[in-house]
Structure 1
Amino acid sequence: MTPFDRLSPDPARAALILIAGFTALRIAFAALLGFGVDESYTLGQARFLALSYFDHPPLHIWLAHASMWLFGTTWAVRLPFILLFAGTSWMMFRLTSRLFGPQAGLWATFSLNVSVFFLAAPGTWIVPDGTLLFSLAAGMLALARLFFPTAGETPSPWTAWSVAGLCFGLAGLSKYSAVFVIAGLAIFLLATPHRRWLIHPAPYLGALLAALVVSPVIFWNIGNGWASLKFQAARGGGVGFTPSSFLQMVAGQFVWLAPWVAVPLTYAGVAAMGRWSEPRRLFCLALALPSILYFTLQSLWSGWALPHWPMPGWFFVFPLLGLWLAENPDAKPSPAAWARWSGALAVALALGLGIIGATGLATRLGLPVRADPTIDALNWTELRPRLQALGVGRPGGPIVAALTWNEGGKVDLVVGDIAPVIVLGPDPRGFAFRQDQRAYSGRDAIVVALASTFQRLGGGLDGQFEVLGEAENATVDRMGRPELSLVLVRARGLKSLTPTSLALR
């Protein structure tokens, strides 16, 4: 007896009901919460179609462009990403069911969806992880059918490797870190009798298809001095032995996964290592470990790392957690009780954060703005009419300039459809590549910055314009209450263009 038997005695039908329920939760979450910094920046970049982009490969930006064409910049622009993760969840069920049985598939699908990171980031937000995980799951599912056929199945290696190659190309078109999961696949092949596929021509056809799919990223980098690859490679640069960064990285992963998911997930992964010689367990471990180990250990010498970087690796540990939960129904604490609590916490977190973001409840209760977990998801909608009153959007009117890429993304989201937005600081990211910056020489501009950012970086503006006006105050409101303080500066005659030699951290 499992908690999912009440949904349907058919595991596949129960999985579909689970996925539909979490999809509805994500839609509610998406409708309540504004766009985060990365989402705002991505939507601004998505106004300009290109072969690829500075921060990431283009697939999620292309999808965002199509979604904006359908929905504008309303919350509904997230819908294709939410539906994409519903497909990813279904493939998690199918993959785990093939490896370890349908009950394990149900547990893996549920566990994936109650994890904070997978509930929010690839599951709801406009980030590259959504297209990455969908592509990796689809490719590995195609190969799992070849590697682990059921009785009576005779899968075609040409079909399996061709589908996998196309999917891995899409993964590379999503995020550079896909290479670590593909490296794990190579490790699995070399460590098992499946190495026989390395002398078959089908995998090389798949590799050719993957290279063709990912070629826009290569061509863009060739045309832009390999700027994107250099940027990503520099993020792993060494600053010396930094154990504090390593501890922060480990803690960050547990927070992102949700501690009540991270603990059993880690336990299941470690337990599987004790039986690594079993090919199905090894398949999951090989796909998972390169990402987890590299990005976690990298923080020891890089001085910093973002805890969501190893998440594609953790994705492939969920089948192992599903297996452990299915095999240990009488464990203490009870898997059934854990499921009830985890499901309730997922609903509470999603709706709670959404309500805080929509209402500003945290600051209404007296917390400082910096303590509001949703402040970065506040849309700067009040800025548009204020800038229009200053001539932005009129023929020959001023352009809009920000001082940092993240604030530029917020500005771009609300006015980028009526006026050019540039970034004047040393780290413009994609803003430096999407337009010919020389076209703005001599133009008038309205500089927009958070008050704290202007205080920190505004002193350098004198040398970038012929005439710099007085700073004017503005606010970003939420339900009639000022939440953020902005500074607007009218400037004439842009002299210094956005730097293209990037001083990036």
Structure 2
Amino acid sequence: MTLASPSPATDRPFARLPDDPARAALVVIIGFTALRIVFAALLGFGVDESYTLGQARHLALSYFDHPPLHLWLAHVSMLVFGTSWAVRLPFVLMFAGTSWLVFRLTARLFGAWAGVWAVLALNASLFFLASPGSWIVPDGPLLFCLAAGVLALAGLFFPEADEAPSPWTAWMLAGLWFGLAGLSKYSAVFVVAGLAIFLLATVHRRWLAHPAPYAGAALALLAISPVLIWNLWNDWASLRFQAGRGGGRGLSLTAFGQMLAGQFVWLAPWIAVPLATIAAQTVLKLGDPRRLFLMALAAPTILYFTLQSLWSGWALPHWPMPGWFFIFPLLGAWMVANPAASPSPRSWAAWSVALAVVLALGIGAIGATGALTRLGVPARADPTVDALDWTALGAVLAQKGAGRGFGPVVVGLSWNEGGKIDLAVGDRADVTVIGPDPRGFAFRPVPRLFRGADVLIVALAGTFARQQAGLASQFEVVGEPERLSIGRGGRPELDLVIVPARGLRSLTPVSLALTR
């Protein structure tokens, strides 16, 4: 693939974009940001978001599931917006900043119009449109910080003819941003490992004899120190939990196939195919240091998490996405260099944007109205039911005394349901989780639990039925369940139970405690 310089008429994805590529990139970013705001306003909080907001209510150095940066950001956002959909706005705006950094990175490596194409493809991809772009998850801050750190080093590694970048500035900025990336998500380490591979494989290994990279590394270590201190205080619980998720469960080709298919769907098939094709083609062109730079940053994350599914027996398809993030500049370069490809890049761009708009607005509308269940689709088959907020639960619990500060302790039976409960109850009552998988709730002490306080157990009816027998060993008294149906537009979709209990003996059923 050669990087020719076609005429401006064929460079741009759409003829009506401004002649200046920086302005064109801003138009694309602003358009997708507006789409994300509408999407965020339509869709309720997912399971992970509800759990995150509940955990973020209590500031800590770090947290069980992930490093703290996105939780700190969520905490500040809740102080401003409460728990309305607008609490997502800082994350939406952060991804707009990430998109601009991708434009600048791609423009430095391959030209400004390649940067416009990269930004368009990135924002039209389903995962990047929804998860880091709209939701309260660690991937948003992670990608922003990784992009900023990589851009700082790209200026040092690939300067323009009239530039004389300062190595101290570049490495200190990179250290700060990579440290903040580590403060966002543990998987940032794979991108840093890719950077080390690039240094060792190229003439840039000379920087290893310079003190600036080590000063940057020290700054990165300082940035992630809250995570290290929290883990030290808590028996390395978070690191052990994340490391255990990749544990061996035997060879599983099924899990591997599901991992590949999941990435294909998350990226959006019409973007995944050209993205993977460009990545495969680039493997044959690693003599170009610019392409080697991006592939080195991308490959460790993609390969590790994809191959991990072979021996772990499972994996989540969004885990490799920070690796695919660095392939988009390569895709942008290919689009500029091949305007006569079939199908045409412009046609592909039009369809990609149209499908992104239709899917975002369609999923948002389904989530807001419960349209699928109105058509007879069972709630368990509706992917938006996880975004159903349990708002009605708060009013019912307030009537029972929970919500006055010294009323019953409210407990869930699993971390994901606990997040929904926590979001509905807020600071008005103590909320925690008992049972086999409390996640971060295990680090939220509620002393009243063991002092004879009344308890209200809240769970989905199915969850309560599965754990009901074990609850008898956990409490002195377990009362009769009261049912509560919640849904959208007055139509019931989920059945909850509210069960009074007293005299907590154990956080875990005896049968489970004995097998641990």
Please, what TM-score do these two structures have when normalized by structure 1?
0.98
Q: Are the equivalent residues in 1 in contact too, given 2:406–2:429 (CA < 8 A)?
A: no
CA distance in 1, matches of 2:252, 2:513: 25
Partner of 1:262: 272
Given the alignment of the two structures, is residue 319 of structure 1 paired with residue 317 of structure 2, yes or no?
A: no
In 2 relative to 1, CA 503–58 (structure 1 residues): closer, same or farther, beyond 3 Å? farther
Tell me how far 1:434 sits from its aligned partner: 2.6
Q: How does 1:310-349 map to 2 (within 5 A)?
A: 310-349=320-359
CA distance in 1, matches of 2:252, 2:362: 35
In 2 relative to 1, CA 436–208 (structure 1 residues): closer, same or farther, beyond 3 Å? farther
Q: Are the equivalent residues in 1 in contact too, given 2:432–2:446 (CA < 8 A)?
A: no
Given the alignment of the two structures, is residue 464 of structure 1 paired with residue 478 of structure 2, yes or no?
A: no
Note the residue ranges of structure 1 that are not aligned, 5 or more in a row.
none
Q: Are the equivalent residues in 2 in contact too, given 1:5–1:14 (CA < 8 A)?
A: no
Aligned counterpart for 1:34 among listed residues 44, 56, 59 = 44
Given the alignment of the two structures, is residue 415 of structure 1 paired with residue 425 of structure 2, yes or no?
A: yes
Partner of 1:89: 99
Q: How does 1:68-147 map to 2 (within 5 A)?
A: 68-147=78-157
CA distance in 2, matches of 1:288, 1:435: 40
Q: How does 1:286-297 map to 2 (within 5 A)?
A: 286-297=296-307
Counterpart residue identity of residue 257, structure 1: L
Given the alignment of the two structures, is residue 491 of structure 1 paired with residue 496 of structure 2, yes or no?
A: no
Q: Are the equivalent residues in 2 in contact too, given 1:441–1:496 (CA < 8 A)?
A: no
Counterpart residue identity of residue 234, structure 1: G
CA distance in 1, matches of 2:58, 2:35: 31
Please, what TM-score do these two structures have when normalized by structure 2?
0.96
Partner of 1:305: 315
Partner secondary structure for residue 391 of structure 2: coil
Q: How does 1:157-196 map to 2 (within 5 A)?
A: 157-196=167-206
Q: Are the equivalent residues in 2 in contact too, given 1:136–1:168 (CA < 8 A)?
A: yes
Aligned counterpart for 1:201 among listed residues 211, 231, 253 = 211
CA distance in 1, matches of 2:400, 2:134: 35
Partner secondary structure for residue 27 of structure 1: helix
Q: Are the equivalent residues in 1 in contact too, given 2:459–2:498 (CA < 8 A)?
A: yes
Counterpart residue identity of residue 320, structure 1: L
Partner of 2:376: 366
> Deviations for 1:255-308, whole angstroms, at most 9, x for unmatched residues?
100111000000111111110111000000000000000000010000000000
Given the alignment of the two structures, is residue 19 of structure 1 paired with residue 25 of structure 2, yes or no?
A: no
Tell me how far 1:429 sits from its aligned partner: 0.3
Partner secondary structure for residue 35 of structure 1: coil
Tell me how far 1:438 sits from its aligned partner: 6.9
CA distance in 1, matches of 2:217, 2:440: 29
> Deviations for 1:289-344, whole angstroms, at most 9, x for unmatched residues?
00000000010000000000000000001011111111111111111111010000
CA distance in 1, matches of 2:362, 2:173: 40
In 2 relative to 1, CA 5–198 (structure 1 residues): closer, same or farther, beyond 3 Å? farther
Note the residue ranges of structure 2 that are not aligned, 5 or more in a row.
1-9
Q: Are the equivalent residues in 1 in contact too, given 2:432–2:444 (CA < 8 A)?
A: no
CA distance in 2, matches of 1:395, 1:295: 44
CA distance in 2, matches of 1:418, 1:498: 25
> Deviations for 1:211-250, whole angstroms, at most 9, x for unmatched residues?
0000000000000000000000000000111111000000
Tell me how far 1:497 sits from its aligned partner: 3.0
> Deviations for 1:165-203, whole angstroms, at most 9, x for unmatched residues?
000000000000000000000000000000000000000
CA RMSD of aligned residues (A): 1.6
Counterpart residue identity of residue 305, structure 2: F
**How many residue pairs are counted as aligned between the two chains?**
504
Q: Structure 1 vs Structure 2: percent identity of aligned residues?
A: 69
Counterpart residue identity of residue 427, structure 1: D
> Deviations for 1:102-132, whole angstroms, at most 9, x for unmatched residues?
1110110000000000000000000000000
Tell me how far 1:416 sits from its aligned partner: 2.8
Partner of 2:229: 219
CA distance in 1, matches of 2:458, 2:198: 52
> Deviations for 1:23-53, whole angstroms, at most 9, x for unmatched residues?
0000000000000000000000001100000
> Deviations for 1:401-421, whole angstroms, at most 9, x for unmatched residues?
100000000000010310011
Q: Are the equivalent residues in 2 in contact too, given 1:96–1:319 (CA < 8 A)?
A: yes
Partner secondary structure for residue 501 of structure 2: strand
Counterpart residue identity of residue 46, structure 1: A
Segment of structure 1 superposing worse, 322-331 or 65-74:
322-331
Q: Are the equivalent residues in 2 in contact too, given 1:427–1:502 (CA < 8 A)?
A: no
Partner of 1:43: 53
CA distance in 2, matches of 1:181, 1:392: 46
CA distance in 2, matches of 1:281, 1:250: 23
> Deviations for 1:142-170, whole angstroms, at most 9, x for unmatched residues?
00000000110001000000000000000
Partner secondary structure for residue 206 of structure 1: helix
CA distance in 1, matches of 2:374, 2:178: 47
Tell me how far 1:366 sits from its aligned partner: 1.3
Q: Are the equivalent residues in 1 in contact too, given 2:46–2:387 (CA < 8 A)?
A: yes
Tell me how far 1:495 sits from its aligned partner: 2.0
Segment of structure 1 superposing worse, 249-258 or 458-467:
458-467
CA distance in 1, matches of 2:258, 2:513: 27
In 2 relative to 1, CA 352–221 (structure 1 residues): closer, same or farther, beyond 3 Å? same
Q: Are the equivalent residues in 1 in contact too, given 2:435–2:507 (CA < 8 A)?
A: no
Q: Are the equivalent residues in 2 in contact too, given 1:67–1:77 (CA < 8 A)?
A: yes
Counterpart residue identity of residue 187, structure 2: S
Q: Are the equivalent residues in 2 in contact too, given 1:382–1:477 (CA < 8 A)?
A: no
Partner secondary structure for residue 150 of structure 1: coil
Partner of 1:232: 242
Tell me how far 1:391 sits from its aligned partner: 1.0
Counterpart residue identity of residue 360, structure 1: G
Q: Are the equivalent residues in 1 in contact too, given 2:484–2:495 (CA < 8 A)?
A: yes
Q: Are the equivalent residues in 2 in contact too, given 1:428–1:498 (CA < 8 A)?
A: no
Partner secondary structure for residue 4 of structure 1: coil
Tell me how far 1:498 sits from its aligned partner: 5.7
Counterpart residue identity of residue 252, structure 1: G
- Give the 4+ runs in structure 1 shifted more than 6 A: 501-505
